[in-house]
Amino acid sequence: MSREAARWRSRRQLRGQYRDKAEQERPQGPSAVRLKPKQVTLPPLPPAHAMIQPMPRLSVPAALALGSAALGAAFATGLFLGRWCPPWRSPREKRLLPPEDNPLWQYLLSRSLREHPALRSLRLLTLEQPKGDSMMTCEQAQLLANLARLIKAKKALDLGTFTGYSALALALALPPAGRVVTCEVNPGPPELGRPLWRQAEEEHKIDLRLKPALETLDELLDAGEAGTFDMAVVDADKENCTAYYERCLQLLRPGGILAVLSVLWRGEVLQPQPRDLETQCVRNLNERILRDARVHISLLPLGDGLTLAFKI
């Protein structure tokens, strides 16, 4: 027998001795419980179609879910109303263009305005006055000046001087011998503008008439100036706007341009039953111009609405 085989036999004998000892130490008698390994019963496998069901949802208290849903609904309602309902402004505030601080509108102005320094000073001065925001806007004034240059205007008419911003803009567009007849009933504001007319060296072109515009227009017609004006800008009181329109059209030459400002009257023209006389007059004038075969027309969304009527 080799040494190896002898070693294996002795190990088997050792294991046998240990086993016998364990049997002797086990408690004997009826109280002895023979320990069996516990039998684990696995639950039955679910059917195949049930095994692909989603995980159970997150469970939250009902009060929390209801509260969150109510908060969400209130937020969404507010968002919807805020987006789609008109703002609580008076209907007088209605306008087509976005507010002054709109970035795209600012871009448009910054890429197009070329305002004479005196005009700029006069605009800033005018905006400080009461009702200063009713003045002609700078892009309107620039367009009218461009049109005056385009038709080589020499004589222009300006109803509603205020501080003379539009009169100065027109004067700057006229040749040295040009003349702007401008009408105003309130003597205060034009005196504010006069230093700036002088500064721009255009004072001699501006012929200020401090009396009701209708009187001035009739004087000009009586003086035989019908058909001699190249341009007319109507930005005076609205009660007489149709009379102004008719007289200005007589004073214009064929090919002259008549501009009427504030023809949307801050959105009031949309009123189904206008109660005030001004709104009614503006609406009537718009209807009249639309049907007037003596002019070609364009209505531009500048300021509070600018009608350009080109006399045929």
- Candidates 41-49, 162-170, 241-249, 265-273: pick the segment binding a copy of itself (CB under 8 A): 265-273
Min CB(146)–a copy of itself separation in Å: 5
Using CB under 8 A as the binding rule, whether residue 69 contacts a copy of itself is answered as no
Phi and psi, residue 295, nearest 5°: -135, 150
Helix (H) or strand (E) holding 16: helix 3-25
- Candidates 8-16, 19-27, 42-50, 291-299: pick the segment binding a copy of itself (CB under 8 A): 291-299
Kindly tell me which residue out of 65, 69, 79, 277 binds a copy of itself, with binding defined by CB under 8 A: 79
Q: Are strands 252-261 and 229-234 parallel, antiparallel or unpaired?
A: parallel
Using CB under 8 A as the binding rule, whether residue 211 contacts a copy of itself is answered as no
Residue type, 195: P
Kindly tell me which residue out of 16, 72, 117, 175 binds a copy of itself, with binding defined by CB under 8 A: 72
Closest CA to 230 of 291, 173, 302: 173
Using CB under 8 A as the binding rule, whether residue 299 contacts a copy of itself is answered as yes
* Structure tokens, 1: 């027998």
Q: What is the DSSP code (8-state) at residue 12?
A: H
Q: Closest CB to a copy of itself among 29 and 87?
A: 87
CA distance 262 to 279: 11
- Provide the 3-class DSSP secondary structure of residue 213: helix
Binding track over 134-153 against a copy of itself, x by CB under 8 A: -----x--xx-xxx-xxx--
CB 169 within 8 Å of CB 142? yes
Residue type, 304: D
Q: Closest CB to a copy of itself among 151 and 214?
A: 151
Alpha-carbon distance values, 214 to 180, 183, 229, 258 (Å): 16, 9, 16, 16
Residue entry with tokens 């504001």: 189
Kindly tell me which residue out of 8, 14, 60, 67 binds a copy of itself, with binding defined by CB under 8 A: 67
CB 98 within 8 Å of CB 104? yes
Q: What's the chain's length in residues?
A: 312
Q: What is the DSSP code (8-state) at residue 152?
A: T
CA distance 250 to 119: 30
Kindly tell me which residue out of 9, 60, 65, 77 binds a copy of itself, with binding defined by CB under 8 A: 77
Using CB under 8 A as the binding rule, whether residue 270 contacts a copy of itself is answered as yes
Q: Closest CB to a copy of itself among 126 and 307?
A: 307
With contacts defined by CB under 8 A, how many residues of the chain interact with a copy of itself? Answer: 62
Using CB under 8 A as the binding rule, whether residue 75 contacts a copy of itself is answered as yes
Kindly tell me which residue out of 50, 55, 81, 223 binds a copy of itself, with binding defined by CB under 8 A: 81
User: How far from each other are the two terminal CA atoms of the chain, in whole angstroms?
Assistant: 139
CB 231 within 8 Å of CB 256? yes
Residue type, 202: E
Kindly tell me which residue out of 117, 187, 188, 255 binds a copy of itself, with binding defined by CB under 8 A: 255
Using CB under 8 A as the binding rule, whether residue 62 contacts a copy of itself is answered as no
Contacts with a copy of itself in 86-125 (CB under 8 A)? 87, 94-98, 102-105, 107-109, 111-112, 114
Residues lying near a copy of itself in the complex (CB under 8 A): 67, 70-72, 74-84, 87, 94-98, 102-105, 107-109, 111-112, 114, 139, 142-143, 145-147, 149-151, 255, 257, 263-264, 267, 269-270, 286-287, 289-290, 296-302, 305, 307-308, 310
